A and B are shown apart, each in its own frame.
Chain A
Amino acid sequence: VRLLPRTAGLHAKLMLLMAMALAAVTAASAWVLIEGERERRYRELDGRAERVADLYRHSLAQALWNVDRPSIDAQLAALGRNPEVVQFRVTAVNYGLVAEYTQRQEPPDAVVRERRIEFSPLPGSPPRHIGDVRVVFTREPARAAIASAGRRILIVFGVATLLVYGATVVAFRRVVGRPVDRLQRTVDRIATGALDARCDVESSDEIGALAQRVNAMADRLQESTGRLRESEAKYRSIFDSAAEGIFRLARDGRLLDANPATARLLGWASAEELLAAPHGPLPQACVDALFAEVAREGEAAGCETELVRHDGRVVWILMHARAPADLGDALDVLATDITEGKQAMAALRRRQDELEQAVRERTAQLAEAKDRAEEASRAKSEFLANMSHEIRTPMNAILGLSYLALQDEHDPRQRTRIEKVHASAESLLGLINDILDFSKIEAGKLDIEAIDFDLGDVLERFTNVVGLRAEEKGLELLFELPAELPMALVGDPSRLGQVLLNLGNNAVKFTQRGEVTVAVSCLEHGLHDVALAFEVRDTGIGVAPEQQRQLFSPFVQADASMSRRYGGTGLGLAISRRLVEMMGGEIGVTSEPGRGSCFRFTARFGLQAAEAPALHAEALRGLRTLVVDDNATAREVLARMAAGFGLDVGTAADGADALEKVFAADARDRPYALLLLDWKMPRVDGIECARALLHAGALRHPPPVVMMASAAGRDDLQLELRRAALTVAALLTKPVTPSSLYDACASVLGAPPRAVSRALQREQAMSEHASMLRGARVLLVEDNEVNRDLALELLGRVGIVAQTANDGREALERLGHERFDAVLMDCQMPVMDGYATTAALRRQPALRDLPVIAMTANTMVGDREKALAAGMNDHVGKPIVVSELYETLARWIRRAPAPAAAPVNREAGIAAMMGDVALYQRLARMFCERERGFAERFRTACAAGDLETAQRCAHDLKAGAGTLGATLLQHAAARLERACVEHADEARLRDLAHEVARELDHALAALSGSERISAH
């Protein structure tokens, strides 16, 4: 806050300060006096209150003693004259208010006095407290008095202060003000240029000293002005002789000052002429731009402009401008002629444009070339796909027909030939698939699926393919799987199988004797995923180190000679490497020539949400088990696997060794609880060994025997066992997987079985599909006659009533007047292809929901999508896989609902036979033959009154039905048997027999049906 304007003089400031000081002192003194007055008045008021209270304390004593109201009232009335008393109360002890005088409400800051009223009734007796008096004084009158005193004090002090202040002002003006005024006038003259003006020094005080200093300053000012003029002259000459134009520019474009260089630059003879010109030399737009930039940036650097000189020439000038420090609306500008530089720059720019144009033309040419290349590539893919289709169509016929041919009886020579045809076709298909896969990889179109699958299934398929070949070459195929290996995985089972098959086939191919071992181990077991390591080891010829690197490159084999000797495209490992990489792993090989190779790859899989329970059972823990196998690796693997279940495992290298150990254990009363016995062993083979153990009768505790044979040798083994009249507890197919071993051990040792085995599930699914498809009407649309016949045969086998059409048009005609449950549609046909046909039939309301299943050899990615987009419901690949065909058809053909309760629970029946499907089928056949005549036999026995025979008939039927899982028949037969035992009356027996006959019919139908399917 400013009390005085900035221009106020020293005099005014001093006077103001003094006035403030005086006011402060006066105010403080007045305050002290007023406060003293206030204190005195209040003290007096307190004294008055005190006195009144004391006075009445005594004066009221007698009256209150005698309770003289009038006297008390009279005394109180006397108080009314005192304006300070606002309240007065007399109270008696124990009684309360006796008399009261109230002028008004008690003010908050009242002076209150209370006194005890005491009275001595007799002189000298102790005073007695008889009441109290309370007097309330107001401060109002005192306050009024204080206020009036305060006003008086303030007036007196105010007047005194004003007098002192006035005297001071006058004195100060005389002593300081006037000399300073004179000094000021002199300095003003100096300031206006009268540098010779000097002050009179009147006194020796501060003002005198100031005057002397002003004079000294004026001296120095005179001196420095002279120097300034010299400097001015110097800079002027620099200005005039500068090479660049220097000028001062006003906002309206006129030049205020300019050096000769400016005049030259702008085409004027002299600076004076230039300055005298009526218009500025620069265009007004340029001037405005300069001012604007200086206003914005503080200076304008590097402004280029083109202008026409006074003499008509066109020049480019470069200007730097800034605002001069000393004045406002003008700029100091430095200008340079840059005409030559400008011209050079323009030439450069033209050259650059030419270059860019050239680049654009070249790029267009390249793009065209790229388009042509892509076109060619697409044509190649198209060709490949078409070729693949064209090759597959006859391949399909060859494979399918040879498959069908193999199902029928042939003489051995023909059979061998057909088998070779089939095998060749398969191998040819493999080659084609390799090439196709590789082309997909090249095209980057190979996809890896992520579906739930069972690793066991993959290994089983592997066994089916590789095991057969190994068997043929006399090689042992072994699985080395830890018991805790996760089996329920998420990934691409077909691609995993492809890699394993490739490696397995290679291993078998390059191994002459010994074994091929597939080992799977778990590298990482996460919560949701798992990393598995697969090893395929062989004892074959091995790979030389220098060749190992090239193994996984396409079109390269170990060496050319090998290619000739072993065949193959050499693409398999390259494809495998790519597939493994896509499954998040890597593939490698370690090998020693002549000793064997080990191909190892890793892959990542997801884990299914519900992982199968671990293969452990308390019932198996600690049971003594002897593993007998002549192959050391197989023995080792099996022993480790069995130990994984908690079994106490010993091993024997051959039959003789085994016999020795079993007898020794039996003699020591520590018999083996289980014998895992390989069939094919040198010298004493499995059968001989089993015979020695089981028929000797020498054993006190004959152990149950599980006999092992390869998949291919299984039927032969059963034949041999029958021939030797030997019964073994179970058969186990090699290579052994943990689950198959567990199933076998569990069934023999009475541990809880696992869930239904996969083989059984598949079998059951197949049978369900078959029963569902029986009698379905399917339209087969296929142009290739051979394939048509093949498909018809396959469909006919499950009782499908199939009609054929040669092309799409024909198909539409047939669909127009016949009803079908589904259409199997080839996609590439003449006249009207599958896609067009489907689109056409979908336009007919009646056929909108008809299931249409595409058959296509196009296994390029996108075929399936294309089929679905065309309105088809599903897709079956060519060559046709029988189970896939049935499954797909069953999925879409929803015919009669499944019967409420199956007459025969085949699964239960097979489980009762330890999974021996063949045995089940044999028993079923026997059962059917025998019991077809049940009704006749029973009726005959009843008619003869031979209830005992009748009962035996019913009993046999009950037992047989139970064995095969025909539960309903079993129960019906049991009721009939009981009725016979109880000699029930004829009518009841007839009813029950009737019921049995009905159930028997159902069961026979079911059994014969399943028999026919499984025969395929």
Chain B
Amino acid sequence: MNQRLPSLPRRRLLGLAAAAALGAGTARAARPPRIVFLNPGEAVERGTGPLWRTVSRFMGAASAALGVDLQIVYAERDHLTMLSQAEDLAARADAPDYVVIVNEKSAGPQLLETLARSPAKVFVIHNDITAEQRRTTGNERERYPRWIGSAVPDNARGGWRLMEELYRQTPGREPLILGITGDPATPVSHERAQGVADYVAQAGRGRILQLANGDWSYADGERKADVLLARYPEANLMWAANDSMALGALRAAKARSAAVRVGGMGGWPDAIESLAAGELAATAAGHYLIGAWSIVLLHDHYRGADFAPRGGAAQKLDYLVVVNRERVAHYDRGLFQDAAAIDYRSYSRALRPRSGGYDFRIDKLLRAARAVS
């Protein structure tokens, strides 16, 4: 966010390089689809976290696997830059087939409006257009017909699964739960917390002592956990809506010597490391694969297999997996060390026609990774 002076020439260069790599084709069927991803993050690490670079990486891997011509433009966390990039894109003579955007800083409606002038189809990932925004923008394929869809991870299921794992690790005791979710303005915060609440309600035991709203940061997680653990000395489970807050909470718990298991969300390398060191109890991982899955969906759409009949235009993808201490080694190896281990083609319905909705479950990916190794 504080990067106000991104390096434009390098961004261009990178974009051109990607376009050159993917090659150029004129025939629709013969020509690979061209997709541009307006990445809100930075191309290189600048202290804002690895999310958007990781998303780009898996998107690149999926594109390579599926023969998609992917171009990624980085907005450097500046939504004004992102808007101007969208305008550039809309003004392009040779419009790409698809533009993947993120409703970063609620800039989604403006992006949709801007890109409506382009023949390219628009796909929203990760941060969906909120219900409120949809009152002006309408839903997919309504007011903006070329907004063909959106895909987000099923965060509620992630919360559910995380809680399931934490319950499993706390047998025979009444789970007394503290939660730190994100800021209330972000829908993800609600969804993740909802999943947690649903699981607790369904399990028939355990009690949520308090759910607090955090600002996603490590420091806030630690600060809040410190006070909450003091307020509820009886608490024995704690979760946070991302790994940063979870690790902050973990630090507070350790400082207080509180006997509390801490679970996070994201499956980020810090969390993986902490899991491997036996400190963090679990994390609901895999969000950064949403970009790769959107490549699969757009690839199938380009090949004539529309995803709308298989789960609707707005896809809520239930693929998040819980990584615990037992599975952490497999996960790390399968996801990050062996980049070629994921067989993206196997998820495509155009290439592997099957009835029913898409299934992007990571269990399968992990199994695939294991089979490969």
Residue of B nearest to A92 (CB): B227
Minimum C-beta distance from A175 to chain B (A): 84
Chain A 72-102 interface 0/1 with B at a Cβ cutoff of 8 Å (1 = within):
0000000000000000000011111010000
Minimum C-beta distance from B211 to chain A (A): 9
Chain A 751-794 interface 0/1 with B at a Cβ cutoff of 8 Å (1 = within):
00000000000000000000000000000000000000000000
The reply to whether B223 and A67 form a contact with Cβ atoms under 8 Å apart is yes
For A98, what are the chain B residues with a Cβ–Cβ distance below 8 Å? Answer: 227
Residue of A nearest to B209 (CB): A121
Residue of A nearest to B210 (CB): A121
Q: Does B140 contact A (CB under 8 A)?
A: no
Q: How far is the CA of A543 from the CA of B230 in the complex (A)?
A: 134
Residue of A nearest to B226 (CB): A95
Given A67-B223, A67-B224, A69-B223, also A93-B212 (CB < 8 A): no
Residue of B nearest to A64 (CB): B227
Minimum C-beta distance from A771 to chain B (A): 115
Which listed residue (A69, A92, A121) contacts B230, Cβ 8 A?
A: A92
The reply to whether A67 and B228 form a contact with Cβ atoms under 8 Å apart is yes
Chain B 160-196 interface 0/1 with A at a Cβ cutoff of 8 Å (1 = within):
0000000000000000000000000000000000000
Q: Does A130 contact B (CB under 8 A)?
A: yes
Given A66-B212, A66-B213, A121-B210, also A94-B223 (CB < 8 A): no
Minimum C-beta distance from B186 to chain A (A): 15
The reply to whether B231 and A94 form a contact with Cβ atoms under 8 Å apart is yes
Q: Does B233 contact A (CB under 8 A)?
A: yes
Is the interface on chain A under 10, 10 to 19, 20 to 34, or 35 or more residues? 10 to 19
A-B contact count (CB 8 A): 30
Which of A64, A66, A92, A95 is packed against the most chain B CB atoms within 10 Å?
Answer: A66
Minimum C-beta distance from A866 to chain B (A): 118
Minimum C-beta distance from A93 to chain B (A): 6
Residue of B nearest to A94 (CB): B230
Which of B223, B227, B228, B230 is packed against the most chain A CB atoms within 10 Å?
Answer: B227
For A64, what are the chain B residues with a Cβ–Cβ distance below 8 Å? Answer: 227
8 A Cβ contacts from A779-829 to B:
none
Q: How far is the CA of A67 from the CA of B231 in the complex (A)?
A: 11
8 A Cβ contacts from A97-151 to B:
98, 121, 130
8 A Cβ contacts from B103-141 to A:
none
Residue of A nearest to B212 (CB): A66
Minimum C-beta distance from B205 to chain A (A): 20
Q: How far is the CA of A69 from the CA of B213 in the complex (A)?
A: 12
For B224, what are the chain A residues with a Cβ–Cβ distance below 8 Å? Answer: 66-67
Q: How far is the CA of A92 from the CA of B231 in the complex (A)?
A: 8
Q: How far is the CA of A89 from the CA of B228 in the complex (A)?
A: 19
For B227, what are the chain A residues with a Cβ–Cβ distance below 8 Å? Answer: 64, 67, 92, 95, 98
Residue of A nearest to B219 (CB): A69
The reply to whether B230 and A95 form a contact with Cβ atoms under 8 Å apart is yes
The reply to whether A94 and B228 form a contact with Cβ atoms under 8 Å apart is no
Residue of B nearest to A95 (CB): B230
For A68, what are the chain B residues with a Cβ–Cβ distance below 8 Å? Answer: 213
Minimum C-beta distance from A169 to chain B (A): 76
Minimum C-beta distance from B71 to chain A (A): 39
The reply to whether B212 and A67 form a contact with Cβ atoms under 8 Å apart is yes
Q: How far is the CA of A66 from the CA of B212 in the complex (A)?
A: 5
Chain B 287-320 interface 0/1 with A at a Cβ cutoff of 8 Å (1 = within):
0000000000000000000000000000000000
For B213, what are the chain A residues with a Cβ–Cβ distance below 8 Å? Answer: 66, 68
The reply to whether A93 and B223 form a contact with Cβ atoms under 8 Å apart is no
Q: How far is the CA of A565 from the CA of B308 in the complex (A)?
A: 193
The reply to whether A93 and B210 form a contact with Cβ atoms under 8 Å apart is no
Q: How far is the CA of A130 from the CA of B232 in the complex (A)?
A: 10
For A67, what are the chain B residues with a Cβ–Cβ distance below 8 Å? Answer: 212, 223-224, 226-228
The reply to whether A95 and B210 form a contact with Cβ atoms under 8 Å apart is no
Which of A67, A68, A92, A93 is packed against the most chain B CB atoms within 10 Å?
Answer: A67
Minimum C-beta distance from B144 to chain A (A): 37
Q: How far is the CA of A98 from the CA of B227 in the complex (A)?
A: 9
Q: How far is the CA of A835 from the CA of B223 in the complex (A)?
A: 130
Minimum C-beta distance from A109 to chain B (A): 34
For A130, what are the chain B residues with a Cβ–Cβ distance below 8 Å? Answer: 231
Q: How far is the CA of A65 from the CA of B227 in the complex (A)?
A: 9
Minimum C-beta distance from A132 to chain B (A): 13
Residue of B nearest to A70 (CB): B215
Q: How far is the CA of A295 from the CA of B340 in the complex (A)?
A: 142
Minimum C-beta distance from B214 to chain A (A): 9
For A65, what are the chain B residues with a Cβ–Cβ distance below 8 Å? Answer: 210, 212
Minimum C-beta distance from A567 to chain B (A): 138
Chain B 25-59 interface 0/1 with A at a Cβ cutoff of 8 Å (1 = within):
00000000000000000000000000000000000
Chain A 159-199 interface 0/1 with B at a Cβ cutoff of 8 Å (1 = within):
00000000000000000000000000000000000000000
Residue of B nearest to A96 (CB): B230
For B228, what are the chain A residues with a Cβ–Cβ distance below 8 Å? Answer: 67
Chain A 595-615 interface 0/1 with B at a Cβ cutoff of 8 Å (1 = within):
000000000000000000000
8 A Cβ contacts from B213-268 to A:
213, 223-224, 226-228, 230-231, 233
Chain A 21-56 interface 0/1 with B at a Cβ cutoff of 8 Å (1 = within):
000000000000000000000000000000000000
Minimum C-beta distance from B189 to chain A (A): 13
Residue of B nearest to A121 (CB): B210
Minimum C-beta distance from B260 to chain A (A): 15
For B233, what are the chain A residues with a Cβ–Cβ distance below 8 Å? Answer: 94
Minimum C-beta distance from A665 to chain B (A): 119
Residue of B nearest to A129 (CB): B231
Q: How far is the CA of A600 from the CA of B224 in the complex (A)?
A: 129
Q: How far is the CA of A94 from the CA of B227 in the complex (A)?
A: 8
Q: How far is the CA of A121 from the CA of B232 in the complex (A)?
A: 14
For A95, what are the chain B residues with a Cβ–Cβ distance below 8 Å? Answer: 226-227, 230-231
Q: How far is the CA of A130 from the CA of B224 in the complex (A)?
A: 13
Q: How far is the CA of A121 from the CA of B213 in the complex (A)?
A: 13
Minimum C-beta distance from B240 to chain A (A): 13
Residue of A nearest to B213 (CB): A66
Q: How far is the CA of A66 from the CA of B213 in the complex (A)?
A: 7
Minimum C-beta distance from A685 to chain B (A): 133
Q: How far is the CA of A121 from the CA of B210 in the complex (A)?
A: 8
Minimum C-beta distance from B130 to chain A (A): 22
For A94, what are the chain B residues with a Cβ–Cβ distance below 8 Å? Answer: 230-231, 233
Q: How far is the CA of A797 from the CA of B40 in the complex (A)?
A: 161
Residue of A nearest to B232 (CB): A94
Q: How far is the CA of A93 from the CA of B213 in the complex (A)?
A: 19
Q: How far is the CA of A69 from the CA of B231 in the complex (A)?
A: 16
Q: How far is the CA of A95 from the CA of B212 in the complex (A)?
A: 17
Minimum C-beta distance from B207 to chain A (A): 12
Q: How far is the CA of A833 from the CA of B161 in the complex (A)?
A: 155
Q: How far is the CA of A66 from the CA of B228 in the complex (A)?
A: 9
Minimum C-beta distance from A797 to chain B (A): 126
Q: How far is the CA of A121 from the CA of B230 in the complex (A)?
A: 17
For A96, what are the chain B residues with a Cβ–Cβ distance below 8 Å? Answer: 230
Q: How far is the CA of A611 from the CA of B75 in the complex (A)?
A: 137
Minimum C-beta distance from A870 to chain B (A): 118
Q: How far is the CA of A957 from the CA of B78 in the complex (A)?
A: 156
For B230, what are the chain A residues with a Cβ–Cβ distance below 8 Å? Answer: 92-96
For B212, what are the chain A residues with a Cβ–Cβ distance below 8 Å? Answer: 65-67
Q: How far is the CA of A44 from the CA of B45 in the complex (A)?
A: 58
Q: Which 5 pairs between the two chains have the least Cβ-Cβ distance?
A: A95-B230, A94-B230, A67-B227, A67-B224, A66-B212
Residues of A within 8 A of B (CB): 64-69, 92-96, 98, 121, 130
Known: A67-B226, A95-B226. 19 other contacts (CB 8 A): A64-B227, A65-B210, A65-B212, A66-B213, A66-B224, A67-B212, A67-B227, A67-B228, A92-B230, A92-B231, A93-B230, A93-B231, A94-B230, A94-B233, A95-B230, A95-B231, A96-B230, A121-B210, A130-B231
List 24 contacting pairs A-B, 8 Å CB cutoff, sorted by A: A64-B227, A65-B210, A65-B212, A66-B212, A66-B213, A66-B224, A67-B212, A67-B224, A67-B226, A67-B227, A67-B228, A68-B213, A92-B227, A92-B230, A92-B231, A93-B231, A94-B230, A94-B231, A95-B226, A95-B227, A95-B230, A95-B231, A96-B230, A98-B227
